[in-house]
Amino acid sequence: MREGSDNRHRKVGKRVPLSILHCIKFDFGRARADPGAKKYRSAVAFRVVADAFGGYFSLYKIKIDGALGQALSWRQTVQPDLEIVAVRHDESFKVWSHGYPYRTVRWHFHPEYEIHLIVETTGKMFVGDYIGSFTPGNLVLMGPNLPHNWVSDVPEGESVAQRNLVVQFGQEFVSNCLESFPEWRQVETMLADARRGLSFGTETSARIKPLFLELLAARGLRRLVLFMSMLEILVNAPDRDTLASPAYQADPTSFAATRINHVLAYIGKNLANELRESELAQLAGQSVSAFSRYFRRHTGLPFVQYVNRMRINLACQLLTDGELSVTDICFKAGFNNLSNFNRQFLAMKGMAPSTFRRYQQLNDASRDASEQAAAHGRGIDNAPAIVLAPGLPGNGAAYPLS
């Protein structure tokens, strides 16, 4: 900023690092076209950058004459948060979608590969040291531990139900495929390039979208067929570009050393034990009140709610395995009494743990039945009957009924 410009802005929180200010690039054309848009009053890109870094800043009101150049040192200033990707034990990869705003929309990284498709909104995208604009159809493949974020131009107070579609798959899954399928060697080069982020054009995006949408609800082998079809399209796509610069090096060791990721890792390893916010605050080197604000800002949830959610997720996995009793699962997941466990489970899943298990058994039975029919070359009419688990609607009736 120019000398004497201090009176042009009012600071509400702490000082903005200069390396972040150097990242600001104003969209004056859009600001002039729509001067009433909240996102584009006075400090267009600063709001975008500040939002992208997930609460790192307090809000500033700034007016600057002219656009500032983009600096490469910004990525060294703000550390990304770690996203915990939970892939079901009976699936090879995770497929999901979310809207905007959403708690995972922050500057973050994870050890998994990710295919990311924007289906609604426009805005700014951040991948490694790359900053650019995105529109619906924006399709990106990212490698492990590559920090990223998409910040949409959505006015405050408004929301979007489904903004993007996501597939996440681990490095172990990739290694197993390379060992088992020689054909996967064709994918290896693309995945290596994805460590800097790969952006695909509109033609490829249009071919991927219907497969992506079907994949959200697909089950069994159909999931693999759709996933492999998507990879085949991406491997053969002529319209792909690398995003992050050749000099950019993602450093997950440095990311994981940050305070919040150290805390989240500790929680994940100790879900079965008693977790006190005061002890976690001490681990983070903060007062309880400061830690509480810090934790909520980075995770989007209060401490207790976050821990309960992680414990319920663990309980769901244990219930699906079907080996332990509900009481045993209650204590193994870190709850100290059964009534609290049942209450928390009902609040998050909309059903009791025992009902959840029965539905999972029904789901497993349908999968086994379809696989048996397929193994014998039978159609739907000849599929083995399925008997509903006790307690479900239908009074134990078998399907198909004769």
Pick the CATH number of 258-354 from 3.30.750.24, 1.10.10.520, 1.10.10.60, 3.40.50.970: 1.10.10.60
pLDDT at 274 over 50: yes
**CA distances (Å), origin 269, targets 31, 179, 232, 307:** 48, 30, 37, 12
Give the whole-number percent of the chain exceeding pLDDT 90: 35
pLDDT score recorded for residue 395: 40
* Distance of alpha carbon 61 from alpha carbon 12, whole angstroms: 8
Quick check: pTM over 0.85?
A: no
pLDDT band, very low/low/confident/very high, at 368 (cuts 50, 70, 90): low
pLDDT band, very low/low/confident/very high, at 376 (cuts 50, 70, 90): low
Phi first, then psi, for residue 82 (nearest 5°) are: -90, 125
| Predicted confidence (pLDDT) per residue in 89-104, tens digit | 889 999 999 999 887 7
Q: Is the dihedral of CA 192, 195, 200, 204 positive or negative?
A: positive
Pick the CATH number of 81-242 from 3.40.390.10, 2.60.40.10, 2.60.120.10, 3.40.50.1950: 2.60.120.10
* Distance of alpha carbon 155 from alpha carbon 402, whole angstroms: 57
| Predicted confidence (pLDDT) per residue in 297-327, tens digit | 777 789 998 899 889 888 888 887 767 899 9
Helix and strand totals (H; E) in the chain: 15, 15
What is the rounded average pLDDT for all residues in the chain?
74
Write the single-letter amino acid at 237: A
pLDDT band, very low/low/confident/very high, at 258 (cuts 50, 70, 90): low
pLDDT score recorded for residue 106: 83
pLDDT at 32 over 70: no
| Predicted confidence (pLDDT) per residue in 153-195, tens digit | 998 889 999 999 999 999 999 999 999 999 888 899 999 999 9
Of 332 and 376, the structure prediction assigns the larger pLDDT to 332
pLDDT score recorded for residue 199: 97
Cα angle for residues 353, 345, 101 (degrees, 5° grid)? 135
* Distance of alpha carbon 178 from alpha carbon 156, whole angstroms: 46
pLDDT at 257 over 60: no
Mean predicted confidence (pLDDT) in 6-33: 37
Where are the domains positioned within the chain?
A: 5-76, 81-242, 258-354
* Distance of alpha carbon 8 from alpha carbon 37, whole angstroms: 21
Please state whether 102 falls in left (phi above 0), alpha (psi between -120 and 50) or beta: beta
pLDDT at 36 over 70: no
Of 44 and 131, the structure prediction assigns the larger pLDDT to 131
